[in-house]
Amino acid sequence: MENRKYLKNKQKIVIKIGSSSLIHQETGGLDYLKLEKLVRIICDLKNQDKDVVLVSSGAIGVGAMSLGLQKKPKTTSLRQACAAVGQGQLMMIYQKLFYEYHRTAAQVLLTFDVISSDERRKNAINTFEELLQLDVVPIVNENDTVAIDELDDSVAFGDNDTLSAIVASMIHADLLILLTDIDGLYTDDPRSHPEARLIPVVERIDDRIRKMAKDAGSSLGTGGMTTKIAAARIAANSDSDMVIVSGKDIDNINRVMAGEDIGTLFLAYKEDAFDLSSFIIHKEYLQ
Protein backbone atom coordinates (compact mmCIF):
# COMPACT_ATOMS: atom_id res chain seq x y z
CA MET A 1 0.00 0.00 0.00
CA GLU A 2 1.32 3.42 -0.99
CA ASN A 3 2.26 5.46 2.07
CA ARG A 4 0.20 8.64 1.75
CA LYS A 5 1.49 10.54 4.75
CA TYR A 6 3.33 12.89 2.40
CA LEU A 7 -0.03 14.31 1.25
CA LYS A 8 -0.26 16.38 4.44
CA ASN A 9 2.65 18.45 3.11
CA LYS A 10 0.84 19.48 -0.06
CA GLN A 11 0.66 23.26 -0.25
CA LYS A 12 -1.44 24.15 -3.30
CA ILE A 13 -4.69 22.21 -3.51
CA VAL A 14 -7.60 22.17 -5.93
CA ILE A 15 -10.84 20.66 -4.60
CA LYS A 16 -13.62 19.75 -7.02
CA ILE A 17 -17.11 19.02 -5.74
CA GLY A 18 -19.87 17.77 -7.99
CA SER A 19 -23.58 18.52 -8.02
CA SER A 20 -24.43 15.11 -6.60
CA SER A 21 -22.37 15.94 -3.50
CA LEU A 22 -24.04 19.31 -2.91
CA ILE A 23 -27.69 18.67 -3.68
CA HIS A 24 -30.27 16.47 -2.00
CA GLN A 25 -31.14 13.82 -4.54
CA GLU A 26 -34.72 13.55 -3.29
CA THR A 27 -35.67 17.23 -3.56
CA GLY A 28 -33.03 18.97 -5.66
CA GLY A 29 -32.37 21.43 -2.83
CA LEU A 30 -28.92 22.41 -1.59
CA ASP A 31 -27.40 20.43 1.26
CA TYR A 32 -26.43 23.31 3.54
CA LEU A 33 -24.77 21.07 6.11
CA LYS A 34 -22.33 19.81 3.48
CA LEU A 35 -21.74 23.30 2.12
CA GLU A 36 -20.98 24.66 5.58
CA LYS A 37 -18.61 21.80 6.36
CA LEU A 38 -16.86 22.19 2.98
CA VAL A 39 -16.23 25.87 3.62
CA ARG A 40 -15.08 25.23 7.19
CA ILE A 41 -12.56 22.62 6.05
CA ILE A 42 -11.22 24.89 3.30
CA CYS A 43 -10.83 27.72 5.80
CA ASP A 44 -8.97 25.40 8.15
CA LEU A 45 -6.61 24.45 5.30
CA LYS A 46 -6.08 28.15 4.68
CA ASN A 47 -5.23 28.55 8.37
CA GLN A 48 -2.50 25.95 7.78
CA ASP A 49 -1.01 28.34 5.19
CA LYS A 50 -2.17 26.31 2.20
CA ASP A 51 -3.53 27.73 -1.05
CA VAL A 52 -6.92 26.28 -1.99
CA VAL A 53 -9.01 26.64 -5.13
CA LEU A 54 -12.55 25.27 -5.15
CA VAL A 55 -14.14 24.07 -8.39
CA SER A 56 -17.85 23.84 -7.65
CA SER A 57 -20.76 22.51 -9.64
CA GLY A 58 -24.34 23.18 -8.64
CA ALA A 59 -25.36 26.41 -10.38
CA ILE A 60 -27.78 24.76 -12.79
CA GLY A 61 -29.29 22.64 -10.01
CA VAL A 62 -29.75 25.66 -7.75
CA GLY A 63 -31.32 27.61 -10.59
CA ALA A 64 -33.64 24.75 -11.48
CA MET A 65 -34.78 24.53 -7.86
CA SER A 66 -35.34 28.28 -7.66
CA LEU A 67 -37.40 28.21 -10.86
CA GLY A 68 -39.51 25.33 -9.57
CA LEU A 69 -38.36 22.80 -12.16
CA GLN A 70 -38.91 19.19 -11.14
CA LYS A 71 -36.32 17.64 -13.47
CA LYS A 72 -32.86 18.47 -14.71
CA PRO A 73 -33.28 20.84 -17.69
CA LYS A 74 -32.53 19.21 -21.03
CA THR A 75 -32.43 22.06 -23.54
CA THR A 76 -29.40 24.33 -23.87
CA SER A 77 -31.39 27.53 -23.43
CA LEU A 78 -33.11 26.28 -20.27
CA ARG A 79 -29.83 25.05 -18.81
CA GLN A 80 -28.30 28.46 -19.47
CA ALA A 81 -31.28 30.20 -17.90
CA CYS A 82 -31.00 27.99 -14.80
CA ALA A 83 -27.27 28.75 -14.62
CA ALA A 84 -27.93 32.48 -14.86
CA VAL A 85 -30.31 32.26 -11.91
CA GLY A 86 -28.37 29.71 -9.88
CA GLN A 87 -24.78 30.94 -10.24
CA GLY A 88 -25.43 34.19 -8.39
CA GLN A 89 -27.42 32.44 -5.68
CA LEU A 90 -24.77 29.75 -5.17
CA MET A 91 -21.98 32.31 -5.03
CA MET A 92 -23.94 34.43 -2.53
CA ILE A 93 -24.20 31.39 -0.25
CA TYR A 94 -20.47 30.68 -0.57
CA GLN A 95 -19.59 34.31 0.10
CA LYS A 96 -21.70 34.36 3.24
CA LEU A 97 -20.25 31.09 4.56
CA PHE A 98 -16.64 32.12 3.92
CA TYR A 99 -17.29 35.50 5.51
CA GLU A 100 -18.36 33.75 8.72
CA TYR A 101 -14.83 32.30 8.91
CA HIS A 102 -13.22 35.65 8.06
CA ARG A 103 -12.27 34.57 4.56
CA THR A 104 -12.89 36.18 1.19
CA ALA A 105 -14.06 34.15 -1.80
CA ALA A 106 -13.92 35.18 -5.44
CA GLN A 107 -15.98 33.93 -8.36
CA VAL A 108 -14.03 32.79 -11.42
CA LEU A 109 -16.14 31.72 -14.41
CA LEU A 110 -14.23 30.10 -17.25
CA THR A 111 -15.18 29.19 -20.80
CA PHE A 112 -13.40 26.82 -23.14
CA ASP A 113 -12.16 29.62 -25.41
CA VAL A 114 -10.30 31.13 -22.44
CA ILE A 115 -8.35 27.93 -21.90
CA SER A 116 -7.70 27.21 -25.58
CA SER A 117 -6.32 30.70 -26.24
CA ASP A 118 -2.73 31.28 -25.11
CA GLU A 119 -3.31 34.96 -24.34
CA ARG A 120 -6.58 34.49 -22.48
CA ARG A 121 -5.20 31.51 -20.58
CA LYS A 122 -2.22 33.63 -19.48
CA ASN A 123 -4.61 36.33 -18.27
CA ALA A 124 -6.59 33.75 -16.31
CA ILE A 125 -3.39 32.39 -14.75
CA ASN A 126 -2.38 35.91 -13.71
CA THR A 127 -5.79 36.37 -12.08
CA PHE A 128 -5.46 33.12 -10.12
CA GLU A 129 -1.96 34.06 -8.98
CA GLU A 130 -3.09 37.48 -7.81
CA LEU A 131 -6.09 36.09 -5.94
CA LEU A 132 -3.95 33.50 -4.16
CA GLN A 133 -1.38 36.14 -3.22
CA LEU A 134 -4.23 38.17 -1.74
CA ASP A 135 -5.20 35.12 0.35
CA VAL A 136 -8.54 34.81 -1.45
CA VAL A 137 -10.29 31.50 -2.16
CA PRO A 138 -11.16 31.34 -5.89
CA ILE A 139 -14.41 29.48 -6.61
CA VAL A 140 -14.41 28.24 -10.18
CA ASN A 141 -17.12 27.00 -12.48
CA GLU A 142 -17.69 26.85 -16.21
CA ASN A 143 -19.66 29.85 -17.38
CA ASP A 144 -22.77 27.87 -18.32
CA THR A 145 -24.74 30.99 -19.19
CA VAL A 146 -22.66 31.46 -22.34
CA ALA A 147 -21.11 28.02 -22.89
CA ILE A 148 -23.01 25.90 -25.39
CA ASP A 149 -24.49 22.46 -24.66
CA GLU A 150 -21.97 20.37 -22.72
CA LEU A 151 -22.33 17.60 -25.30
CA ASP A 152 -20.76 19.90 -27.90
CA ASP A 153 -17.15 19.15 -27.06
CA SER A 154 -15.80 21.82 -29.39
CA VAL A 155 -16.95 24.71 -27.21
CA ALA A 156 -17.34 23.38 -23.67
CA PHE A 157 -15.34 21.45 -21.07
CA GLY A 158 -18.14 18.90 -20.70
CA ASP A 159 -17.73 18.56 -16.94
CA ASN A 160 -15.95 20.03 -13.95
CA ASP A 161 -13.63 17.02 -13.59
CA THR A 162 -11.71 18.17 -16.65
CA LEU A 163 -11.99 21.82 -15.65
CA SER A 164 -10.56 21.16 -12.18
CA ALA A 165 -7.55 19.35 -13.66
CA ILE A 166 -6.93 22.22 -16.08
CA VAL A 167 -7.12 24.67 -13.18
CA ALA A 168 -4.66 22.50 -11.22
CA SER A 169 -2.30 22.68 -14.20
CA MET A 170 -2.73 26.46 -14.54
CA ILE A 171 -1.87 27.23 -10.90
CA HIS A 172 0.78 24.47 -10.58
CA ALA A 173 -1.16 22.70 -7.84
CA ASP A 174 0.47 19.71 -6.18
CA LEU A 175 -2.81 17.98 -5.25
CA LEU A 176 -6.23 17.66 -6.87
CA ILE A 177 -9.09 16.17 -4.83
CA LEU A 178 -12.21 15.06 -6.70
CA LEU A 179 -15.23 14.71 -4.44
CA THR A 180 -17.70 12.62 -6.37
CA ASP A 181 -20.58 10.16 -6.08
CA ILE A 182 -18.31 7.12 -6.14
CA ASP A 183 -15.49 6.44 -3.69
CA GLY A 184 -12.71 5.72 -6.16
CA LEU A 185 -11.79 3.74 -9.26
CA TYR A 186 -13.06 0.17 -9.24
CA THR A 187 -12.24 -2.81 -11.41
CA ASP A 188 -15.85 -2.53 -12.62
CA ASP A 189 -18.95 -0.48 -11.84
CA PRO A 190 -19.66 -1.40 -8.18
CA ARG A 191 -23.32 -0.46 -8.53
CA SER A 192 -23.98 -3.26 -10.99
CA HIS A 193 -21.07 -5.56 -10.09
CA PRO A 194 -20.85 -6.17 -6.32
CA GLU A 195 -17.63 -8.12 -6.77
CA ALA A 196 -15.80 -5.06 -8.12
CA ARG A 197 -12.68 -4.10 -6.15
CA LEU A 198 -11.45 -0.62 -5.28
CA ILE A 199 -8.05 0.24 -6.76
CA PRO A 200 -6.17 2.16 -4.04
CA VAL A 201 -3.25 3.51 -6.12
CA VAL A 202 -2.69 4.09 -9.82
CA GLU A 203 0.92 4.69 -10.75
CA ARG A 204 0.34 5.01 -14.50
CA ILE A 205 -2.81 5.28 -16.59
CA ASP A 206 -2.58 2.54 -19.20
CA ASP A 207 -5.12 0.71 -21.37
CA ARG A 208 -6.08 -1.54 -18.46
CA ILE A 209 -7.01 1.46 -16.33
CA ARG A 210 -8.91 3.11 -19.17
CA LYS A 211 -10.99 -0.01 -19.66
CA MET A 212 -12.04 0.20 -16.02
CA ALA A 213 -13.35 3.71 -16.54
CA LYS A 214 -16.95 2.71 -16.78
CA ASP A 215 -19.25 5.70 -16.81
CA ALA A 216 -20.62 6.25 -13.32
CA GLY A 217 -22.55 9.50 -13.67
CA SER A 218 -25.55 10.52 -11.58
CA SER A 219 -28.86 12.16 -12.36
CA LEU A 220 -27.40 15.51 -11.30
CA GLY A 221 -23.81 15.33 -12.48
CA THR A 222 -22.39 15.29 -16.01
CA GLY A 223 -19.06 13.54 -15.60
CA GLY A 224 -18.49 9.81 -15.40
CA MET A 225 -15.35 7.83 -14.59
CA THR A 226 -14.01 8.38 -18.11
CA THR A 227 -13.70 12.12 -17.49
CA LYS A 228 -12.09 11.46 -14.10
CA ILE A 229 -9.40 9.35 -15.77
CA ALA A 230 -8.88 12.19 -18.25
CA ALA A 231 -8.57 14.60 -15.33
CA ALA A 232 -6.02 12.28 -13.72
CA ARG A 233 -3.92 12.31 -16.90
CA ILE A 234 -3.93 16.10 -17.01
CA ALA A 235 -3.07 16.34 -13.30
CA ALA A 236 -0.38 13.66 -13.43
CA ASN A 237 1.35 15.28 -16.39
CA SER A 238 1.17 18.64 -14.60
CA ASP A 239 3.12 17.19 -11.64
CA SER A 240 0.03 16.96 -9.44
CA ASP A 241 -1.21 13.93 -7.53
CA MET A 242 -4.96 13.36 -7.70
CA VAL A 243 -7.34 11.56 -5.35
CA ILE A 244 -10.88 10.41 -6.21
CA VAL A 245 -12.93 10.12 -3.04
CA SER A 246 -16.59 10.00 -2.07
CA GLY A 247 -18.31 13.35 -1.61
CA LYS A 248 -20.95 11.83 0.66
CA ASP A 249 -18.73 12.67 3.62
CA ILE A 250 -17.00 16.05 3.27
CA ASP A 251 -14.60 15.06 6.06
CA ASN A 252 -12.93 12.86 3.44
CA ILE A 253 -10.96 15.97 2.49
CA ASN A 254 -9.32 15.91 5.93
CA ARG A 255 -8.76 12.16 5.64
CA VAL A 256 -6.99 12.63 2.32
CA MET A 257 -4.84 15.40 3.77
CA ALA A 258 -4.02 13.21 6.78
CA GLY A 259 -2.72 10.49 4.46
CA GLU A 260 -5.43 7.93 5.13
CA ASP A 261 -5.91 5.13 2.61
CA ILE A 262 -9.25 6.14 1.15
CA GLY A 263 -10.39 6.51 -2.44
CA THR A 264 -7.98 6.12 -5.33
CA LEU A 265 -4.68 7.97 -5.48
CA PHE A 266 -3.27 8.77 -8.92
CA LEU A 267 0.43 9.51 -8.73
CA ALA A 268 2.03 12.28 -10.76
CA TYR A 269 4.15 11.11 -13.69
CA LYS A 270 5.10 12.23 -17.19
CA GLU A 271 3.95 10.60 -20.42
CA ASP A 272 6.48 10.99 -23.21
CA ALA A 273 3.81 11.56 -25.87
CA PHE A 274 1.43 13.65 -23.74
CA ASP A 275 0.81 17.20 -24.95
CA LEU A 276 -1.53 19.17 -22.69
CA SER A 277 -2.54 21.75 -25.29
CA SER A 278 -3.46 19.06 -27.81
CA PHE A 279 -5.22 17.04 -25.13
CA ILE A 280 -7.37 20.01 -24.14
CA ILE A 281 -8.06 21.49 -27.56
CA HIS A 282 -8.76 18.25 -29.40
CA LYS A 283 -10.58 16.60 -26.47
CA GLU A 284 -8.78 13.30 -26.99
CA TYR A 285 -10.39 11.82 -23.87
CA LEU A 286 -13.83 12.05 -25.49
CA GLN A 287 -12.81 9.87 -28.43
What is the reported pLDDT for 222? Answer: 44
Task: Report whether CATH 3.40.50.10800 matches the domain 5-286.
Answer: no
- Pair 238, 230: CB distance under 8 Å: no
Q: What is the mean pLDDT of residues 139-146?
A: 82
Q: What is the mean pLDDT of residues 97-107?
A: 97
What is the reported pLDDT for 48? Answer: 97
The Cβ of residue 145 has, within 10 Å, a number of other Cβ atoms equal to 19
For the chain, what is the mean pLDDT? 86
Backbone torsions φ then ψ of 106, nearest 5 degrees: -130, 140
Backbone torsions φ then ψ of 23, nearest 5 degrees: -120, 135
Name the residue with higher pLDDT: 91 or 3.
91
pLDDT tens column, 209-257? 887 775 444 444 444 788 889 899 999 999 999 999 999 999 999 999 9
Hey, is 120 helix, strand or coil?
helix
pTM of the model: 0.90
**pLDDT of 182 strictly over 80:** yes
Q: What is the mean pLDDT of residues 36-50?
A: 98
DSSP code at position 42: H
User: In angstroms, rounded to a whole number, what is the distance separating the alpha carbons of residues 110 and 117?
Assistant: 12
pLDDT tens column, 128-140? 999 999 999 999 9
Instruction: State the distance between the two ends of the chain, measured CA to CA, in whole angstroms.
Output: 33
**67, amino acid identity:** L
